[in-house]
Structure 1
Amino acid sequence: MFKSLLGSLITQASCQEGAGYLKRADTEKLHEIFLQYATVERNGEKHITSEDFVRKYLGLFNEDDYNKESVKLIAGIVDMDKDGFISFSEFQAFEGLLCVPDALYKTAFQLFDTNGNGLVAFDEFAEVMRKTVLHKKLPFNMESTFVRLYFGKDKKRLVTYQEFSQFLHDFHEEYGVEAFKKCDKDGTGFISAGDFRDIMMSVKSHLLTKDLKTKVINASGFPQGERKISFPFFMAFNSLLNNMELIKRVYLNATNGHRTQEVTKEEFLHSAQMMSQITPLEVDILFTLCDTLHNTNGRIVYNDLNTITPEQYFKQVTRRVAEIKAVSEEVNMLREPFRVVNFLDRLMSPEERGVLIQILESTYRFTLGSIAGAVGASAVYPIDLVKTRMQNQRTGSFIGEVAYRNSFDCFKKVIRHEGVFGLYRGLVPQLIGVAPEKAIKLTVNDLVRDKFMDKKGNIPLYAEILAGACAGGSQVVFTNPLEIVKIRLQVAGEIAGAQKVRAWSVVKDLGLFGLYKGAKACLLRDVPFSAIYFPAYAHVKAKFADENGYNHPLTLLAAGAIAGIPAASLVTPADVIKTRLQVVARSGQTTYNGVIDATRKIYAEEGARAFWKGAIARVFRSSPQFGVTLVTYEILQRLFYVDFGGSRPTGSELHVATPIEETTKKADHIGGYQVAIPVLTGLETKFGISLPRFSFQKPAQQ
């Protein structure tokens, strides 16, 4: 009696603990949702039936021939008094339970605690297990030593929550061992490849991906043509599947965080011995699996590991919580990409991409790049104006007093003499021109990278540099006319009382060829800038990615800004020369005839330091501009993703796992219930506890 009371108190305490995580939950909203499903009134209080809770609210088992016993067991997790009806207090208590760190174990415990006394007896455990799909396929020996150790020799011992959590952790491994023993009738320590396949497809099916099932487990003669599977191999194989997250960490330790670096077996073993207890046999199996699935030839990359085991429970919940946070903060960029309906999938496969498809892909990227470029340019335009005026300022001894002492002084004087809008002189032609300029740069970089990228998504450093250089060179056809007009408008405000200069008058004065004055200097600036920037951005972004390779928009922004610092600063001399060539020289100022002449005269009259004028302003302009531009470009690709068969930005996909039973994400799942489906699915993916969906056995699909 005392143990029963103690167990109930523990269960209630866990619910109170969950309530502590729900201080922000809207109780009134939760009650409104509860009433939508509460169709039964008992003793003046509304209740939800087991069927309505599982089938209507959770959206599980919604087939006509659903298994009523399974529905009753799942509803019993919430129905603490086990009367077949769920009150609001029980509904709210389970919401709190879903928010505690050990929600999966507590949910599993309440599944087996069928009488609701806060303790699990052997009879309760056996009753639930005998109803599972696994037990029907391969019955577990309820008289085994393992069971007696937990429930006592006479199986009368009641198990507490903490003890049962350890039991569940060990139980499925014991299930595999029991299955091996049944197949090894002679006690040789070996089973046939067919028995191995049967055990893995029944007892360990929840650990297998579709590819692993079809290409490895069902492959004749696996492993390596052997007809017999030893017990050590069986245990190592299952240990490997259970510890894939640790395997990934070993890989990242071996590559210092890089996900595309190839790792040999020897390098992996060395890393494993430094940080884990992974055995050489497990490593052998790992490399055999990767080679079977991907033809890795003894070298693996991070993506090879992702296809070995399905996403586990805690990954599903973590990513589901990330999605919930994104929704609550209204940050759509963190959600699963909005996928535009893609008619191309109906026309041809990615291997059959033709010229038309590639043109459509380029147009798509060009459009998104145009929008991103306009956003980035607008964000930093005042800094760009200050940079231009600082670079155009002559400091020769015969020029007289300089207009601006530094960039900050220039900024203040522009506002004082020309107003706030003076900081945006030349913005309109900038926006007109920056769209195709940035679009062509981003598009060409992506297309060239695609050409050099292998099937695993790897690209060598020289190809990254070449792609960036091509991008920088291709944009000059738009950049030069844009910049010469912009620069002349930006410096026009320096002349007091001067007639207002308009973009169209500048274009007419320059003519077609005049618009390309300084084009050589523009090439000298833009080609090395992009050759530095894009590879730096790709590598910094990879460093900032989380353990799943995903980049939060803030990490994209930071990566873009950091990559812009070396790129913008190192090409400042070319930018100074370009500015001097494109600005109209005033009375008394030196004129220049080409890049070499400008370089020689600037050095002779102003010294080497003149080539670095405006470097700080340039870094403060280019660095955040490209950060904003690229984060906008990648977010647009996430939100409006169309699959043309090419590549998409790495780190762009936040895979919110879709559990087996989850078909919709209900808007009325708030608070803890937003992770209800992943938690319930975790009973299968973590413990292999799968309840039958149908009231009768359906015929197998042919």
Structure 2
Amino acid sequence: MFKSLFGSLLTQASCQEGAGYLKRADSEKLHEIFLKYATVEKNGEKHITSEDFVRKYLGLFSEDDFNKESVQLIAGIVDMDKDGYISFSEFQAFEGLLCVPDALYKTAFQLFDTNGNGLVAFDEFAEVMRKTALHKKLPFNMESTFVRLYFGKDKKRLVTYPEFSQFLHDFHEEYGVEAFKKCDKEGTGFITAGDFRNIMMSVKSHLLTKDLKSKVITASGFPQGERKISFPYYMAFNSLLNNMELIKRVYLNATNRTGHRTQEVTKEEFLHSAQMMSQITPLEVDILFNLCDILHHTNGRIVYNDLNSITPEQYFKQVTRRVAEIKAVSEEVNMCRKPYRFVNCMELMSPEERGVLIQILESTYRFTLGSVAGAVGASAVYPIDLVKTRMQNQRTGSFIGEVAYRNSWDCFKKVIRHEGVFGLYRGLVPQLIGVAPEKAIKLTVNDLVRDKFMDKKGNLSLYAEIIAGACAGGSQVVFTNPLEIVKIRLQVAGEIAGGTKVKAWSVVKDLGLFGLYKGAKACLLRDVPFSAIYFPAYAHVKAKFADENGYNHPLTLLAAGAIAGIPAASLVTPADVIKTRLQVVARSGQTTYNGVIDATRKIYAEEGARAFWKGAIARVFRSSPQFGVTLVTYEILQRLFYVDFGGSRPTGSELHVATPIEESIKKPHHIGGYQVALPVLTGLETKFGISLPRFSYPKPAQQ
């Protein structure tokens, strides 16, 4: 009776609390999914067996020689009655529990609460721990003072959930101390480097990244070739690994939160920041800089990326941070799948390491994605571009002094009135034909030049960003100039009332090959500085909008692109005005120009300095959102159609190794809270080091 009551209360509490953090799955849909896995009928109700729930629904322990005890323990987290079968109410209750922010601790509590009474006894705790892989490697002293402090001198005290959460947090730290004592048999306060390695690879392996394991722990030369490891060093080392997220915040504080993660920080600067905002000790800082030097040869100066190779995977943090955004998570997975851990698992390779063929394939890949992104961006803002062109072509100091449009809005209204809505899209087809290679080569060249200047840590100086942008702007002119001269002549053709309809092909034939590059110098004067301003500004604004893991949501990418376009588009408007005047066909009585210098002189003499800024507002309203749309499309496409060529990817949008949170979302039957079921269960090991054996013992010998 008590078990049933407790289960009912837990169901209500979990569902009510979870509803505040995660949109609950529709009950009918959840029940429909439940019935697909329910193979047993008990007391007139369908139930899922423990094995079916763990192996078929969750997708864990799929091996033929799976460990049945581990499966029963995991199923026991959901099975409140502990009868080996999971009812729909229990299935739904666990879904609700997964929605709460402390889901990992509550799941761990239910793992140890084997009789389902809402309390954990010492016998229950010991029974589960003795079945873990860790205990089999290095048994824990269940008679220790630490255990008796929590469960009482006679170990009869029952521990509540809040108390057990603290116990579990402290237990693994005590496990490490216990392991050190076992290796330090003589009580000298030192253990050998070999013992240190064994402890870290068994008791503390969940805190170790791949780089730490391969380059530090198993390298037999740490620390600094010492043969003995002191207890203070051992404790500081583990404390450092436990607090790497805090370490990152200390780094950002040391750089005054500039948003730039490439600023080098010395040990003294880092220590000063650490003492201002945390209790990180000087020994931990020494270890941190020593590790960074071993891994990256930092020579006493570290950057943010140096910390990533030391930061252990924290599924717990991912789940609690994202549990309120499951819908957004699902969209991200469909898109990239880039988070849930947005950590770049790929070390950048130099061009020499990748080879010519790989670089050609990468350029083709980027060119293709850039083409699609350019077409999307151009289509989105084309009406604004048409208004901008007509405003820039409007003459006020020539023989024909009539002003057709008072301002951009007036131009917009008159185009619709006299030419219809489709008049706003005059010249769109050639624009789309040409904008694809134009934007593609621009984005591709920018990425490739950035790659050339980027070091293996992903650092790039400001001057290198400017050079990359300038090269991108210069390279696009080969496509831009022919595209724009045709587009401009089509856009202004509608101004002539009763005029014959002008077609793109006729414009191309009239101009000829060399005529298509009329105004190319002015085009260079516009596009080179535009890109030199735009791309660095975009990179830095995007970094400002990134979250603490350096990840950008598509909306922040769009905002960054739009913001960066404002100074870039406005400052190069004079060059754009000159280019427009050179490329358009002058009507009878209008001034003609014979080059950039001649156009500059005549425009200034006839119309004054203000003429150089005609259409500036329309240009900003066109270029800013266009590049915002183009770049967010480009980066999302790189997430969607990721191909690893060993080069760089857009900062803050790198593809990462699929984590359990991503894998769970890929499962169509994992809805609601079950979208985070796998990372929560995996978190038992990655947060607390509690790993259950996957295989039965003894495991069958490999053939």
The alignment's TM-score, normalised by the length of structure 2, stands at 0.93
Q: Are the structure 2 counterparts of residues 280 and 8 from structure 1 closer, same or farther at C-alpha, using a change threshold of 3 Å?
A: farther
Q: Are the structure 2 counterparts of residues 262 and 698 from structure 1 closer, same or farther at C-alpha, using a change threshold of 3 Å?
A: farther
Q: Distance in 2 between matches of 1:378 and 1:296?
A: 47
- Offset at 1:186? 2.4
Q: Are the structure 2 counterparts of residues 607 and 442 from structure 1 closer, same or farther at C-alpha, using a change threshold of 3 Å?
A: same
- Offset at 1:654? 5.4
Q: Are the structure 2 counterparts of residues 5 and 644 from structure 1 closer, same or farther at C-alpha, using a change threshold of 3 Å?
A: closer
Does the CA-based 8 Å contact 1:19-1:93 persist in structure 2? Answer: no
Q: Distance in 2 between matches of 1:173 and 1:471?
A: 53
Q: Are the structure 2 counterparts of residues 516 and 145 from structure 1 closer, same or farther at C-alpha, using a change threshold of 3 Å?
A: same
- Offset at 1:39? 1.6
- Offset at 1:329? 5.4
Q: Distance in 1 between matches of 2:662 and 2:481?
A: 57
Deviations 1:321-368 (A, max 9, x none): 5995247559833534999999999x9997543333322222222222
Q: Are the structure 2 counterparts of residues 18 and 497 from structure 1 closer, same or farther at C-alpha, using a change threshold of 3 Å?
A: closer
State the partner residue of 2:663.
662
Does the CA-based 8 Å contact 2:345-2:656 persist in structure 1? Answer: no
Q: Distance in 2 between matches of 1:686 and 1:317?
A: 12
Q: Are the structure 2 counterparts of residues 11 and 24 from structure 1 closer, same or farther at C-alpha, using a change threshold of 3 Å?
A: closer
State the partner residue of 1:311.
313
Does the CA-based 8 Å contact 2:292-2:306 persist in structure 1? Answer: yes
Does the CA-based 8 Å contact 1:469-1:531 persist in structure 2? Answer: yes
Does the CA-based 8 Å contact 1:564-1:626 persist in structure 2? Answer: yes
Q: Are the structure 2 counterparts of residues 429 and 662 from structure 1 closer, same or farther at C-alpha, using a change threshold of 3 Å?
A: closer
State the partner residue of 1:383.
384
- Offset at 1:398? 5.4
- Offset at 1:455? 0.9
Q: Distance in 2 between matches of 1:14 and 1:425?
A: 59
- Offset at 1:231? 1.2
Q: Are the structure 2 counterparts of residues 563 and 700 from structure 1 closer, same or farther at C-alpha, using a change threshold of 3 Å?
A: farther
Q: Are the structure 2 counterparts of residues 365 and 341 from structure 1 closer, same or farther at C-alpha, using a change threshold of 3 Å?
A: farther
Q: Distance in 1 between matches of 2:675 and 2:343?
A: 27
Match runs of 1:591-630 below 5 Å: 591-630=592-631
Q: Are the structure 2 counterparts of residues 145 and 126 from structure 1 closer, same or farther at C-alpha, using a change threshold of 3 Å?
A: same
- Offset at 1:46? 1.4
State the partner residue of 2:230.
230
Does the CA-based 8 Å contact 1:337-1:639 persist in structure 2? Answer: no
Q: Distance in 1 between matches of 2:381 and 2:4?
A: 68
- Offset at 1:573? 0.6
State the partner residue of 1:487.
488
- Offset at 1:661? 13
- Offset at 1:253? 2.2
Q: Are the structure 2 counterparts of residues 332 and 140 from structure 1 closer, same or farther at C-alpha, using a change threshold of 3 Å?
A: closer
Q: Are the structure 2 counterparts of residues 98 and 206 from structure 1 closer, same or farther at C-alpha, using a change threshold of 3 Å?
A: same
- Deviation larger for 529-538 or 38-47: 38-47
Q: Distance in 2 between matches of 1:349 and 1:588?
A: 59
The alignment's TM-score, normalised by the length of structure 1, stands at 0.94
SS in 2 for 1:47: strand
- Deviation larger for 86-95 or 294-303: 294-303
- Offset at 1:17? 3.3
- Deviation larger for 363-372 or 691-700: 691-700
- Deviation larger for 518-527 or 296-305: 296-305
Q: Are the structure 2 counterparts of residues 21 and 609 from structure 1 closer, same or farther at C-alpha, using a change threshold of 3 Å?
A: closer
- Offset at 1:475? 1.3
Does the CA-based 8 Å contact 1:8-1:117 persist in structure 2? Answer: no
- Offset at 1:503? 1.7
Q: Distance in 2 between matches of 1:242 and 1:344?
A: 24
Q: Are the structure 2 counterparts of residues 3 and 47 from structure 1 closer, same or farther at C-alpha, using a change threshold of 3 Å?
A: closer
- Deviation larger for 44-53 or 408-417: 44-53
- Offset at 1:7? 9.8
Does the CA-based 8 Å contact 1:48-1:87 persist in structure 2? Answer: yes
Deviations 1:512-564 (A, max 9, x none): 22222211111111111111111111111111111111111111111111111
Deviations 1:156-213 (A, max 9, x none): 1111111111111111111111111222222222222122112111111111122212
Deviations 1:553-604 (A, max 9, x none): 1111111111111110000011111111112222222222211111111111
- Offset at 1:116? 0.8
Q: Distance in 2 between matches of 1:641 and 1:383?
A: 33
Q: Distance in 2 between matches of 1:22 and 1:462?
A: 45
SS in 2 for 1:642: coil
Does the CA-based 8 Å contact 1:396-1:605 persist in structure 2? Answer: yes
Does the CA-based 8 Å contact 2:337-2:662 persist in structure 1? Answer: no
- Offset at 1:399? 3.6
Q: Distance in 2 between matches of 1:110 and 1:327?
A: 26
Runs of 4+ in structure 1 over 6 Å off = 1-8, 337-345, 347-350, 660-664, 699-702
Q: Are the structure 2 counterparts of residues 701 and 316 from structure 1 closer, same or farther at C-alpha, using a change threshold of 3 Å?
A: farther
Does the CA-based 8 Å contact 1:489-1:502 persist in structure 2? Answer: yes
Q: What count of residue pairs does the alignment treat as equivalent?
A: 701
- Offset at 1:155? 1.1
- Offset at 1:71? 1.3
- Deviation larger for 571-580 or 321-330: 321-330
Percent of aligned pairs with the same amino acid: 94
Q: Are the structure 2 counterparts of residues 5 and 499 from structure 1 closer, same or farther at C-alpha, using a change threshold of 3 Å?
A: closer
Q: Are the structure 2 counterparts of residues 627 and 331 from structure 1 closer, same or farther at C-alpha, using a change threshold of 3 Å?
A: farther
SS in 2 for 1:329: helix
Q: Are the structure 2 counterparts of residues 360 and 408 from structure 1 closer, same or farther at C-alpha, using a change threshold of 3 Å?
A: same
Q: Are the structure 2 counterparts of residues 401 and 440 from structure 1 closer, same or farther at C-alpha, using a change threshold of 3 Å?
A: same
Q: Distance in 1 between matches of 2:20 and 2:537?
A: 45
- Deviation larger for 389-398 or 11-20: 11-20
Q: Distance in 2 between matches of 1:455 and 1:514?
A: 45
- Offset at 1:281? 0.7
Q: Are the structure 2 counterparts of residues 320 and 3 from structure 1 closer, same or farther at C-alpha, using a change threshold of 3 Å?
A: closer
